[in-house]
Structure 1
Amino acid sequence: MRPSSLIRRRGPMLSAVALSCLIVISGCKGGEGEAQAKSAEEKAAEAIPVEVAPASHRAIAASYTGTAPLEARGESQVVAKTSGVALDVLVEEGQFVRAGQTLVRLDAARATLQAAQTSAQMRKLENSFARAQQLAAEQLVSASDHDQIKFDLENARAANRLANLELSYANVKAPISGVVASRSIKPGNFVQINTPIFRIVDTSKLEAVLNVPERELATLKAGLPVALTVDALPAQTFQGEIDRVAPVVDSGSGTFRVVAAFDGGGLLQPGMFGRIRIDYDNRANALVVPRVALLEDEGDPAVYVVRDGKAVRVPVQLGYSDGAWAEVRSGLRAGEQVVVAGKAALRDGTKVQLIGQGNTAQAAAKPATSKQ
């Protein structure tokens, strides 16, 4: 075979081999580019997304909270002190009455007769004693007879006072001022002695009794302001104060009694369930962070602060807690960004990416220059 014809036959084969080599080389370059892009994506994925909030200054209060039902300061069960038929019932449930006001009139015919009888006997003995006085001056009566008449007169006077007292019991009067909460009598009913017929509640002052742990004994004092909310009126807050504190700790429960007082006569009523807050100290410009930023572990209190795109575990010294806020006494500066969401996946030095913000983590996490 001629050389020229051999070259002509091998030419297409060489071209095919060269083309295959070029495809392999270009494929290797493409694979290397994809690997680099994938590595970049993995590096970007290492940053854990978190939400942050700045440490800031605000007013915060130290407080004690508790629950207790409201009770009336004064309450009385009105009973009849004598028996008789109720002739008139003068008040209704819900009516306000004053102390000494007549509520019921009972049949007093028998008591009236007894009072008249003892009054007549007393007047008779008063006349006898006056004559005995004259005779004694003239020494016409013995000393023993004179003393006997005197003692009889004193006994008659006592009997008359007792009869008049029984007569007064026919008018059943209110022992305290307040609202008639219940009535268990109707006109014409026969009333037995010492039978409760009314319940009067003094709603001018309402009280809530708290059983407070003994650790609060040094902080809760009479006169401190008290804020009250009740389930029946959830949109309103009522103001009161600590009325008195029992400085004796119950050895069984480890608590002492604190009585908070509130003005009544309005929307508040006895029996309402109250939620009570007592502020015993206030700081007007405290450095605070959201309580959700605190790490929930058994170590010392700490938060994650975002610095240069990384989460840094920072120990803090806490002060007061007030609702959703916790006071930081040391460890942070105002403006530093603390992690409030996503902190469970963090470790000290973990790269983070801020979400919910337009800036990058590095730009948003620069330490603030303001001082506490």
Structure 2
Amino acid sequence: MSHFFSLHGRRSGRLAAALLLTTAIGLLLAGCSKGGTDSAQAGERKQEGKEEKKTEAVAVETAAAGHRPVAASYTGTSTLEPRAEAQVVAKTSGVALAVLVEEGQHVRAGQPLVRLDPDRARLSVAQSEAQLRKLENTYQRAQKLVGQQMVSAADVDQLRYDVENARALHRLATLELSYTTVVAPISGVIASRSIKTGNFVQINTPIFRIVDISRLEATLNVPERELATLRAGQPVTLAADALPGQTFTGLVDRISPVVDSGSGTFRVVSSFDGGTQSLQPGMFSRIRIDYDQRANALVVPRLAILDDGEPAVFRVTDGKAVRVPVKVGYAEGAWVEIREGLAEGDQVVTAGKVALRDGTAVQVIVPADPKAVAATDATGKAGSTP
């Protein structure tokens, strides 16, 4: 019996020791598992922190400062007008027997346009001519008789005056006959015709409009502050809405020396050669007068200039946007001249400026090649001096 209790005690001790060992192993495994989880969570938080730091960089687009020609200019809109224009009117009445020209036809000065019925005018010429011949014969006989004292000198003088009057009436009748053929007063193009063959034409009735399109003019009313910059002979570029993609060149023809006190402007008239080009009177046009040129100016896109005060740009340096004050010069189209503050090749922010502050980290999406700016053609339409 004592042997039984001794054996049972030893077995219970072993079981208790095994339970203690199992519990210790479980606790150790649980601790290791918890430690691993904590390490994993710490690693995830560290990775998230890195990602947060990465997302703080603002995405921007940039362009490089480069050299290109730039011009200072004044721009405006105007309607093209012919340099010469004539409204042809009938100087006598009559039926139009023949209309000799049509709209769009080129005519020369003195070229017949319409022939009116000349019968009445011819009869007047014949009548005045007969009266003149009669008075001339009477005057010649009186001159022979005055020496014989058969005609007084006063009668001879009166006859001489009558002859001169009849001669004037004959010339007037001949002139009226010439009016039955209506001729072009200037060379140009028939712009409108308001007569048909067989119409009765009243005296002083407009029947044709002729415009001289060999020389066209555009007039700008320019503010008086530009008076010192514009002068005759400066080059002018014209773009017409009716002719997209085409540009035409001309010159400043004349400048009014007087400033209108009401509007504060003065007239600048530019002329263009319309004879060999597609320009037509009445076309709406956009005019640019270049009054200064810079052949190799340092420029940046107009979009890069900040509009919150003094001129400045954001220059990208070492992954950060640095606000740089600049001195601007001429502006032409999409470009602005930079006279101080930047160097060739500097990357300036053109898109994404709103979210930037001085020193903000940036991520450049589309970096520009400096050579691309330098090689860009000068195609700006508007220019000014800041």
Same-fold call, TM > 0.5?
Answer: yes
Query: 1:166 is paired with a residue of what secondary structure?
Result: helix
Alignment of 1:203-218 (within 5 A): 203-218=213-228
Contact in 1 for aligned 2:80/2:217 (Cα 8 Å): yes
Q: CA deviation at 1:306?
A: 1.1
Tell me the amino acid that sits aligned with residue 201 of structure 1.
V
RMSD: 2.0
Deviations 1:296-337 (A, max 9, x none): 22x111100111221111111111111110001111111111
Q: CA deviation at 1:120?
A: 2.1
Residue 165 of structure 1, aligned match among 169, 175, 183: 175
Does residue 276 of structure 1 match 2:287?
A: yes
Contact in 1 for aligned 2:213/2:274 (Cα 8 Å): yes
State the alpha-carbon separation in 2 of the partners of residues 63 and 174 from structure 1.
41
Alignment of 1:93-112 (within 5 A): 93-112=103-122
For the pair shown, the structure with the greater C-alpha radius of gyration is: 2
State the alpha-carbon separation in 2 of the partners of residues 181 and 159 from structure 1.
36
RCO (CA 8 Å, sep 6+): is it higher in 1 or 2? 2
Q: CA deviation at 1:187?
A: 2.1
Deviations 1:271-306 (A, max 9, x none): 222222221111001010010101122x11110011
Q: CA deviation at 1:208?
A: 1.7
Query: 2:182 is paired with a residue of what secondary structure?
Result: strand
- Which stretch has the larger CA shift, 185-194 or 142-151? 142-151
Deviations 1:51-99 (A, max 9, x none): 1111111110111222222222222221111111112222222221111
Q: Which residue of 1 aligns with 2:163?
A: 153
Q: Percent identity?
A: 64
Query: 1:236 is paired with a residue of what secondary structure?
Result: coil
State the alpha-carbon separation in 2 of the partners of residues 279 and 96 from structure 1.
34
Query: 2:24 is paired with a residue of what secondary structure?
Result: helix
Q: Which residue of 2 aligns with 1:54?
A: 64
Does residue 143 of structure 1 match 2:150?
A: no
State the alpha-carbon separation in 2 of the partners of residues 237 and 75 from structure 1.
25
Contact in 1 for aligned 2:62/2:367 (Cα 8 Å): no
Unpaired runs of at least 5, structure 1? 359-363, 365-372
Q: CA deviation at 1:140?
A: 5.2
Q: Which residue of 2 aligns with 1:28?
A: 38
Query: 2:247 is paired with a residue of what secondary structure?
Result: strand
State the alpha-carbon separation in 2 of the partners of residues 63 and 357 from structure 1.
30
Query: 1:351 is paired with a residue of what secondary structure?
Result: strand
Residue 247 of structure 1, aligned match among 250, 257, 262: 257
State the alpha-carbon separation in 2 of the partners of residues 285 and 130 from structure 1.
88
Q: Which residue of 2 aligns with 1:313?
A: 323
Query: 2:279 is paired with a residue of what secondary structure?
Result: coil
Tell me the amino acid that sits aligned with residue 125 of structure 2.
A
Tell me the amino acid that sits aligned with residue 56 of structure 1.
G
Q: CA deviation at 1:357?
A: 5.0
Distance 1:225 1:137, change over 3 A: farther
Residue 15 of structure 1, aligned match among 25, 28, 52: 25
- Which stretch has the larger CA shift, 2-11 or 261-270? 2-11
Does residue 79 of structure 1 match 2:89?
A: yes
Deviations 1:182-219 (A, max 9, x none): 22222222111111111212111112222222222222
State the alpha-carbon separation in 2 of the partners of residues 5 and 118 from structure 1.
163
- Which stretch has the larger CA shift, 243-252 or 102-111? 243-252
Contact in 1 for aligned 2:254/2:268 (Cα 8 Å): yes
Q: Using structure 1 for the length normalisation, give the TM-score.
A: 0.90
Q: CA deviation at 1:136?
A: 4.5
Tell me the amino acid that sits aligned with residue 174 of structure 1.
A
Tell me the amino acid that sits aligned with residue 186 of structure 1.
K
Q: CA deviation at 1:14?
A: 1.2
Q: CA deviation at 1:4?
A: 4.6
Aligned residues: 358
Deviations 1:246-272 (A, max 9, x none): 232223332222222111234222222
Residue 290 of structure 1, aligned match among 301, 305, 312: 301
Does residue 128 of structure 1 match 2:130?
A: no
